[in-house]
Structures are given as structure tokens and as C-alpha cells.
Amino acid sequence: MESNFNMMEIGNRIAALRKANKLTQQELADKLHISFQAVSNWERGESMPDIGKLLELSEILGISADGLLGRTASRTERNSKTVHVEITHDKSEEEPDDFKLLMSLVPFLDSSTLDRLVMQNRGKLSLSQLVELAPFLSGETLDNIVLDAKADSRSLIALAPFLSSNTLSKLAEKLFANETDDEPGEDAK
């Protein structure tokens, strides 16, 4: 029998909700009286929360057990709904409200919907926003966006765990070329 649960999506949802609740893996583990490795395994999609811990976990994270498992609507209802979020950037705000809305929806979106939304708004997202979204995006989407963006070394370091080695190599070459272009050569002396 095929499982109706996508362990990776559930893991991403647990990680996002844990972070939204400003908890470390260790703090969440302590509240559940389990090891932080168990929480880490859930978030990486390598295992699922034990049925005995599911209600306690959902209560701590402020979501129903059904919501935590991604079962808030029937599969047909989820597939028939269209999500559209347009990121706007108002210079007077630190973080655009639309981005805050998108981040609040992340635990409930499947990866293809999130990839589509991010691709539609790619020019409107800052690198710091991409860093926040990186754990939830497909590697291909993140690679494509980052290759087109003007990345600084600090953003690259934060995004590195989520990027392919091919993309990292290209970005390192681009950064190195930009830094050597900025330095005055021997002829300038």
C-alpha cells in the first residue's frame, strides 16, 4: 500500500513551524523528551514523528495533527486551489507584507507550488529572502534564481548548503572574477 504522506514535505513543515516558533531543534526535543537527532531526522524527511508524540508536537508547533501531516484538505481540494502571491517591495518596510504572507504559507504549500510562486516573483526577492526560502525550494529552482542574482559572499555562504556543486562553482568563479576586477592592477600604479 502506498503511503499518502510525503516525509520530506512533513519534515519541511516541521522545520518551518519550529523556526516560526523560535525554537532550536534541541529546545523542541527537550519539550518532547526526545533527542535532537530525532527532530533532525524528521526535518530531513528520514523518519516520521512517533504516533505517541504527534499530538504533543502539533500542540507545541501550534497546528493540528492533520495540518502538520498536510491533510487539512482533501487531495482534490488542494490540487484545485490556486495560490497567487505577488511580492511587492515597499521601501518604508523592512519586510514586505506579501513576503511575510508567503513565509506563513510555506509549511502548507507543496514544493511545486512554492517553486512556481518564487519563479513568478524572482526579480522581486532579495537574497536574504531567498535564504529564508531555500530549505523549501527545489534545488533546480534555487540554482536558477541564484545564478541570475547578484550574490555577495555572505549570501553565498548562507545558500551554499542548498545549491548544487555545479552552481556553487559557477558562483565562486563569478565572485572571484568580480573581486579581481575591482582590484587595481599593476598598470594602475
DSSP secondary structure, 66-127, as one string: HHHTT-SS-HHHHHH----------TTSSS-HHHHHHHHHGGGS-HHHHHHHHHHTGGG--H
* Structure confidence by residue, pLDDT tens digits, 37-92: 999 999 999 999 988 898 899 889 888 888 888 765 433 334 434 444 454 444 44
Phi, psi of 44 (to 5 degrees): -85, 0
Q: What Å distances lie between residue 86 and 12, 149, 154, 176, CA to CA?
A: 22, 19, 26, 34
Q: How confident is the model at residue 116 (pLDDT cuts 50, 70, 90)?
A: confident
Q: Which residue in this structure is represented by grid cell 531555500? A: 134
pTM higher than the cut 0.85: no
- Burial of residue 65 (CB within 10 Å: 0-12, 13-18, 19+) is middle
Q: To the nearest whole percent, how much of the chain has pLDDT over 70?
A: 75
For the record, the C-alpha cell of 184 comes out as 587595481
Angle CA(140)–CA(11)–CA(50) in degrees, nearest 5? 155
Q: How confident is the model at residue 179 (pLDDT cuts 50, 70, 90)?
A: low
Q: To the nearest whole percent, how much of the chain has pLDDT over 90?
A: 15
